[in-house]
Amino acid sequence: MDTKISQLDKELKSYRDKLKTTKNAAAKKNIQKRAMEVLKRKRMYENQRDQLAGQQFNIDQAAFGIESAKASVSTVAAMKAANTELKKTIQQDLKIDDVDELADDMAELMDEFQEINEALAQNFRKVCVCVLFYP
C-alpha cells in the first residue's frame, strides 16, 4: 500500500509541475482531471491502509488478551497446586503444638547458652585480673 501511495504522490507531483508550466487552458483542465483521479486513488489506498492498520491493531490486542488470560490461568493453577501441597505437608509433618514446643525448647537452650557464655566471660576476666596483678 505504501509503495502504491508513494508512486501516486510522485505522479501527483509531476501533474503539479505540468500545471505550473502549461499555458493552454484546455490542457490544464485535462491535467487537473487526471490529477483528481490520481488523488482519489491515493485517498482510497490511504483509507485501505488505515483500515488494515486498525484491523492489525485489533488482532494484536486480541492476541495480547489471550496471552494474558493464559498466563493468569497458569498462575492460578500454580497457586492452587502450591496451596494443596502446603496443606498436605502441614497436615502430615507439622503440628502447631510440636512447633510451639520446639520454639520453647530452642528459647530455653538459647538462654542456657547465654548463661554459659556469661559464665565463661566472668571466669576469663577473673583469670585475667589475677594474671595482671600477680605476676
The model carries a pTM of 0.51
Same domain, residue pair 37 and 65: yes
DSSP letter at 20? H
Tens-place pLDDT, residues 15-43: 998 888 888 888 889 989 999 999 999 99
User: Residue 15: which residues within 8 A CB-CB, separation 6 or more?
Assistant: 31, 32, 34, 35, 38
What are the CA-CA distances from residue 125 to residues 116, 117, 120, 135 (Å)? 14, 12, 9, 16
- Where are the strands (E) in 24-77, listed by range? none
| Residue 5 CB coordination number (10 Å) | 17
Same domain, residue pair 52 and 15: yes
Segment 86-106 mean pLDDT: 82
Range of the domain at 107: 95-135
Same domain, residue pair 103 and 89: no
**Number of domains forming the structure of the chain:** 2
